[in-house]
Chain A
Amino acid sequence: MTEPPLTSSGLAKVGDATLPDRDRASQRSWQRFRRNRPALWSLWLLLFVALGVVAWPIILKIAAVMGPAGADFTQRFQPDRVSDAQFQSPSFAHWFGTDVHGRDLLSRVLYGAQVSLLVGCVAAILSLLIGVVWGAVAGYAGGKTDGLLMRIVDILYSLPSIIFVIVLITTFEGILRRGLARLGAQDLDVSGRLLLLVVGLGAVSWLTMARIVRGQVLSLRQRAFVQASRALGAGPIRVLARHIIPNTLGIVIVYLALTIPAVILYESFLSYLGLGIQPPMASLGSLIAEGADQINPIRTYWWLIAFPSAFLVITLLALNFLSDGLRDAWDVRGEN
């Protein structure tokens, strides 16, 4: 379905006299969003996936205490349970098949998705918080500030991220382990490694966002409505918050939707090198990295690569259509 481009007459906003208009604008945005069917389907899909991913461990725990049939169910689907049922193709017993250790793949994909989505979300949030503000400030301020901020981005971008990740993990792993040991919570050690990985990945993902936002802001700050706002005496923070950043929202949303797969794939690359998630834990990235070996002309256990990849692709597709929908619905196009 087509939407005519929004004209300036409907939602013109100048300065601060917008409160009543804003409420109605929000409602209209929400209505627009609901009419975008792929975006709506994507939202439902993502909610369903999130629910499944979060609920699956709980289901397993509940089933374990529900009699022998339940215990058997839990046993079969435990992601860590090594068994003799190696490399079984998808069947009723194991919907996604099993891997080299006889572990159920469906369970591993769901547990892995938890990790990957966590990694992606943290990276996205860091990107958003640090990257957008950094880029906007640099682009708006211009001159020496812009130079300084962007040169810092250049420096950080040039540093070898693999070594940075190695140093981060090894430096803090020892400290974390000893700290946890003193607290007696040694089982959390594995999560500690995951946390470090997440922080490390997030730390490198805001750089390009900053650059893109800065480019956009450079273009925006000379625009009429910005000049007008400044002429009316609005301070820089107000201009940034009210006019500049909302106008970059489109590109930010789209780039966020690109950052999440980028980070998940980078984690996958780290697993490919042996630096990522610790076995026996898995992430979608590590499952894909291991499954990639199945693409060869001799023999393919197709489920080991197909299901993790399909899960990732479908989730990210939904994310992208959702982001498109959000962007279209909340686009402050009227502010011209």
Chain B
Amino acid sequence: MYFLRRLFLLVPLLLVISFLSFVLVRVAPGGPFDRERKPASSEIERQIKAKYHLDEPVWKQYARFLADLARGDFGISLQYRNHTVNDIIAQALPVSASLGLLAFGFAMGVGLPLGYLTAARRGHYQDYLGSFVAVLMVCVPGFVVAPLLIMYLGIKWRLFPVALWVSPMHAVLPVIALGLYFAGRVARLMREGMLNVMPSEFIMAARAKGLSENALLLKHALPLAILPVVSYSGPLLADLLTGSFVIETIFQIPGVGAFFVNGSLNRDYTLVVGLVILYAVLLIVLNLLVDLIYVLLDPRVKYD
């Protein structure tokens, strides 16, 4: 059926994505071994490139990459030359995943009720105050929120650790710093979804039947109202699971985000392509799940 067909598309999609990103990173000027100090002779430079097959034509490198990929080997990182990309993903993904899931939970846990409140009390002071808070959350970047949290909660009042990833207490500040922005977005989308649904005819019919306002909103309006949030959740979760560079750098958390951005800036071709594939798999699977959830939430949705 429809979803099986989508799953079958996964492999060709990944091939396209891997090829595009493979080429994209190599097109960017500057290579992984370009540094301030050059080796003593050009022969050394040549040998270094040759060892990692960077002197071969791109299609040949890609063929080699595909052959390795078939064995599940993403290759050795060009920046962390003692580690394979698989090593790095194995170390970093669990960390990013737990941080991401917690942040997702925080974003939903704060954003959904906030959106609901502002929609239910639309036009009252709760709406304006709630919207103010939501927009505030969306406007302030992570590299401002994180130092603020660290300075007050970490250093001045010594409530939480300021960095590193050792115990669950270490997760509190990063999760808040990461989740706040997304909570704001979720709140705004939730509010919009609710406002969209509340005037519909079946809601009015239910109201006419005498259902209490709360039961009305929760049981009938919510599944439809949450649709924009669900649409957004696919890419949101994929982004969160693969980490955030800013949060990971400021809190020194060994997650995937820092590797991805640093890899891009350092032209670590193998690591970047490996992480892009990882991200693509997550994204495609999550979008599939999201489409599945649409059908559950809104029975009127049909895929051909």
Contact = CB atoms under 8 A, between A and B. Distances in A.
Prevailing SS type, chain B contact patch: helix
Interface string A162-174: 1110110011000
Which of A159, A207, A305, A309 has the most chain B CB atoms inside 10 A of its CB? A159
A256 to B, nearest CB: 11
A162 B10 CA distance: 24
Interface in B197-247: 198-201, 204, 224, 227-228, 230-232, 234-235, 246
Contacts of A261: 138-139
A45 interface: no
A71 to B, nearest CB: 37
| Count class of interface residues, chain A | 35 or more
Interface stretch (A88-96, A122-130, A184-192, A213-221): A213-221
B139 A313 contact: yes
A236 interface: no
B284 A170 contact: no
Given A159-B17, A162-B264, A154 B24 contact: no
Contact of A158 (B29, B144, B279): B279
Contacts of A196: none
Contacts, number: 186
B80 to A, nearest CB: 18
A157 interface: yes
A151 B21 CA distance: 16
Interface in B281-304: 283-284, 287, 290, 294, 298, 300-304
Given A159-B24, A269-B141, A321-B131, A1 B123 contact: yes
B238 to A, nearest CB: 8
A150 B132 CA distance: 33
Interface residues of B, number: 72
A294 B105 CA distance: 31
B20 interface: yes
Contacts of B138: 258, 261-262, 316
Nearest to A141: B304
A262 B232 CA distance: 14
A208 B28 contact: no
Max chain A C-beta neighbours (<10 A), residue from B6, B151, B195: B195
A223 B25 contact: no
Contacts of B228: 212, 215-216, 251, 255
B105 to A, nearest CB: 21
B192 to A, nearest CB: 4
Given A251-B192, A269-B246, A316-B139, A296 B151 contact: yes
Contact of B136 (A2, A268, A313): A313
B134 to A, nearest CB: 8
Nearest to B278: A158
Interface stretch (A3-11, A60-68, A103-111): A3-11
Contacts of A160: 21, 24-25, 260, 264, 272, 276
B171 to A, nearest CB: 21
Given A207-B235, A296-B147, 12 more contacts: A5-B198, A142-B302, A150-B287, A166-B28, A211-B231, A215-B231, A215-B294, A254-B192, A257-B188, A269-B141, A288-B144, A312-B139
Interface of B: 6, 9, 13, 16-17, 20-21, 24-25, 27-29, 122-124, 128, 131-132, 135-136, 138-141, 143-144, 147-148, 151, 155-156, 185, 188-189, 191-193, 195-196, 198-201, 204, 224, 227-228, 230-232, 234-235, 246, 260-261, 264-265, 272, 276, 279-280, 283-284, 287, 290, 294, 298, 300-304
Which 9 A-B pairs give the minimum distances between C-beta atoms? A215-B231, A143-B304, A295-B147, A222-B300, A158-B280, A5-B199, A254-B192, A2-B123, A142-B304
14 contacts: A2-B122, A6-B199, A146-B304, A154-B280, A207-B235, A211-B231, A218-B301, A219-B294, A250-B195, A254-B191, A255-B228, A258-B138, A305-B144, A316-B135
